[in-house]
Amino acid sequence: MTTEQIVRSFFEEVRSGRNPDYASTVMAEQVLAHQVISEEEVTVTRTPSDYADHVREMIEAYGDFSLEIQELLTQGDKVYVRWKQIGNHVGDVDGYTPTNLPVIEIASAVYRVANERIAEYWIQIDRLGIEKQLERNRS
């Protein structure tokens, strides 16, 4: 598979929630995940198994959400993806009790592929936007 095909299949199978365990096919054994949270970069190491669990947690929180790739650009060993995820708040999220109302996540990431597997990524999520929706939905 090409670099773009690997990342696209990651989104279509794993990140979408359709087949979280497919992470072991498209992710390296250890993936550096650089996460920007309130302008502070935090790097964690993820395994395909923890990522699959992370997706399952999203399903518990937002049900069977939809995921739309809005932009995908490839340059060498890196792929940039911007997406929109829409789910319903069906599980506890950061202390907010479920309302069953829609929650939209807008996010983007750059994925680096090595040896036909995702080896590293840099992600930014509009966390404040999610928090505002959860707050508004609770009212």
pLDDT per position as a tens digit, 28-47:
999 999 998 767 789 999 99
pLDDT in the model for residue 38: 67
Q: Give tens-digit pLDDT for 84-124.
A: 999 999 999 989 999 999 999 999 999 999 999 999 999 99
**Tokens 């996540």 appear where?**
105
Q: What is the pTM of this model?
A: 0.94
Please report the pLDDT score of residue 84 as a whole number.
98
Tokens of 59: 């399903």
Rounded CA-CA distance 61/15 in Å is: 14
- 63 pLDDT higher than 80: yes
- The DSSP line for 91-111 is S-BTTBPP---EEEEEEEEEE
